[in-house]
Amino acid sequence: MIAIVIFIVLFGAGSVWFTMNVIKVRRNVLIGKEIDRKDNAAQRWKLMTLVALGQRKMFERPIPAILHLFLYVAFIITQIELIEIVTDGVTGSHRMFLPYLGGFYTFIISFIEILSILAFIGTIAFLSRRNLLKVPRLVKSELNGWPKLDANFILLGEITLICFIFMMNGADEVLFRNGWSHVSESSGSFGFAISHQLGPILFGSLSESSLHIVERIGWWGHVMMVLGFLNYLPYSKHFHILLAFPNVYFSNLLAKGKFTNLESVTNEVKLMFDPNAVVPPSDGAPMRFGAKDVMDLTWKQLLDSYTCTECGRCTSSCPANITGKLLSPRKIMMDTRDRLVEVGNIMDKNKGAFVDDGKSLLGDYISPEELWACNSCNACVQECPVNIDPLSIIIEMRRYMVMEQSSAPTELNMMFTNIENNGAPWQFSQADRLKWAQE
């Protein structure tokens, strides 16, 4: 009875805390400006199925894709077992689904166990790639400190979780074998694919009371890890396991080369061409061209930042980064998220209102040098397995630097002047545009 109460309190507290954090993340994302991404629902569902659920873009790099698939499928299938764990926790039963499902139960748990072994292999491989093999994109400077720790925490957490699963099932197998099980008077086996073998090897010599303790540690450990993991997500890059789905759903469906045309600029330009032009009235708020801080970005760009799991495929394909420039598209996303979290914390302290802290995304997090190194080649956008668009953020910040700060590099200002005066980025006369035909 005590166990049921503890379980319900823990599970309730974990769920409430997680929900509160999700609400906060949602509020932070909605600081962003409006952008319509609700059109073409059928196409969006299809894209989400292929790219998020189907991991299509992951398979551009097969080795990490397969390792990742082990963890991904294990994660999804283990949720079935979680339903039973919650049911058992609330009712005080033990393996409640077993009598109803029979052979199918054995099949499901065996499937989970095999996936858990594969996930274990995947996790060890991932730890090695980060810490021993030092795969270049996983050891770049923007990962120093917390991001590196975060990644290793998650992997170690996954290993721990898998160990708890096998403690639980392994000890249960031995209990059953010795006729001490809660599920049956007689002795026998659950027939679980891995722990049927592994259980006796690890726990075969333990006494009945020790086995019950091991089994309970496994069960409670599993519960605690799941709740801990869930509540760690909103603070971690690992939030992608949930946000990948909405983020891909709300992807940009248009040609990657198509940049937005700023409507505020269109209205100004129309008035310049024709002072009597009819333009929609502004809402009175002072407008800012481009982005200086996170609130100047769209909610989708902010959702992108929370979704980023810092895998670095973008950075490893970025021509600027490959050639040693300061720009890293991954850092653009990490900085955007860090600043957004900071802005959110300021809002928490001021009853939901943002109070200027004298800082901004541009300057305090992202430097002009990074932004001016971009080739706008869309490699980062193409690479991202969850359809994050770092390029659009870079362009918005360039717009701010050019149109609000007039801080473009000198050569670019010369290029602007040439276009204005001669209709070409170089100093050639527009009247000479057809000279090639006479040469």
Partner 1 sequence: MSDLKVTTMAEFFAKGETPEVLFWVGCAGSFDDRAKKITRAIVKILNHANVKFAVLGSEESCTGDPAKRAGNEFLFQMQAMNNITVLNGYEVKKIVTGCPHCYNTLKNEYPSLGGNYEVVHHTELIQDLLNKGRITIEGGSFKGKKITFHDPCYLGRANDVYEAPREVMINLEAELMEMKRSKADGLCCGAGGAQMFKEAEKGNKEVNVERTEEALALNPDVIAVGCPFCNTMITDGVKHFNKEEKVKVLDVAELIVQAKGL
Shortest distance, CB of residue 394 to partner 1, whole angstroms?
8
The Cα–Cα gap between 222 and 112 comes to 14
Residues of this chain, 49-88, that bind partner 1 according to CB under 8 A: 60
Instruction: Tell me whether residue 345 or residue 376 sits nearer to partner 1 (CB atom).
Output: 376
Stretch that binds partner 1, among 136-144, 159-167, 340-348, 426-434 (CB under 8 A): 426-434
Q: Does 377 bind partner 1 (CB under 8 A)?
A: yes
Amino acid making up residue 374:
C
CB of 391 to partner 1, least distance (A): 9
Closest by Cα among 97, 76, 101 to 87 = 97
Taking CB under 8 A as the rule, does residue 398 contact partner 1? Answer: yes
137-166 binders of partner 1 (CB under 8 A): none
Degrees, nearest 5: CA angle 324-393-38: 140
CB of 324 to partner 1, least distance (A): 3
CB of 407 vs partner 1, minimal distance in Å:
10
How many of the chain's residues bind partner 1 (CB under 8 A)?
70
- Residue 409 is a binding residue for partner 1 (CB under 8 A): yes
Choosing from 289, 295, 346, 363, the residue that interacts with partner 1 (CB under 8 A) is 289
305 Cβ contact partners less than 8 Å away, ≥ 6 residues apart: 333, 334, 336, 337, 340
Q: How far is the CB of 370 from partner 1 (least distance, A)?
A: 8
Given 62, 136, 204, 425, the residue binding partner 1 (CB under 8 A) = 425
What phi and psi values does residue 373 have, to the nearest 5 degrees? -85, -10
Query: Looking at 42, 141, 258, 358, which residue binds partner 1 (CB under 8 A)?
Result: 258
235 binds partner 1, rule: CB under 8 A: no
Q: Which residues lie below 8 Å from residue 237, measured CB to CB, with a gap of 6+?
A: 147, 150, 151, 154, 308, 309, 310
The backbone torsions φ and ψ at residue 110, rounded to the nearest 5 degrees and listed phi first, read: -65, -40
Output the smallest distance, CB 177 to partner 1, in A. 54
* 332-371 residues near partner 1, rule: CB under 8 A: 369
Nearest to 307, CA basis, from 388, 232, 235? 388
Nearer to partner 1, 356 or 439 (CB): 439
Region binding partner 1 by CB under 8 A among candidate stretches 149-157, 202-210, 338-346, 415-423: 415-423
Q: Is 268 in the site for partner 1 (CB under 8 A)?
A: yes
Position among 128, 266, 345, 350 found at the interface with partner 1 (CB under 8 A): 266
428: left (phi over 0), alpha (psi -120 to 50) or beta: beta
CB of 195 or CB of 387, closer to partner 1: 387
Given a contact cutoff of 8 angstroms between Cβ atoms, the answer to whether 272 and 266 are in contact is: no
Least distance in Å: CB of 423 to partner 1?
3
197 is an interface residue for partner 1 by CB under 8 A:
no
Does position 375 bind partner 1 by CB under 8 A?
yes
| Cα(266)–Cα(190) distance, integer angstroms | 70
Which residue among 38, 282, 322, 392 contacts partner 1 (CB under 8 A)? Answer: 322
Piece of 11-19, 200-208, 236-244, 319-327 that binds partner 1 (CB under 8 A) = 319-327
Establish if 426 lies at the interface with partner 1 (CB under 8 A): yes
> Which member of 77, 206, 230, 262 binds partner 1 (CB under 8 A)?
262
Contact 387, 393 (CB under 8 A): no
- Can you tell me the distance from the alpha carbon of 235 to that of 232, in angstroms, rounded to the nearest whole number? 6
Tell whether the torsion through CA atoms of 370, 375, 377 and 383 is positive or negative. negative
Considering only 133-141, 150-158, 182-190, 263-271, which stretch makes contact with partner 1 by CB under 8 A?
263-271
CA distances from 84 to 70, 104, 109, 174, 424 (A): 22, 14, 11, 20, 69
The site for partner 1 (CB under 8 A) is made up of 60, 254-259, 261-262, 265-266, 268-270, 272-273, 289-290, 317, 319-320, 322-327, 369, 372-379, 381-382, 395, 397-403, 408-409, 411-412, 414-416, 419-420, 423-426, 428, 430-439
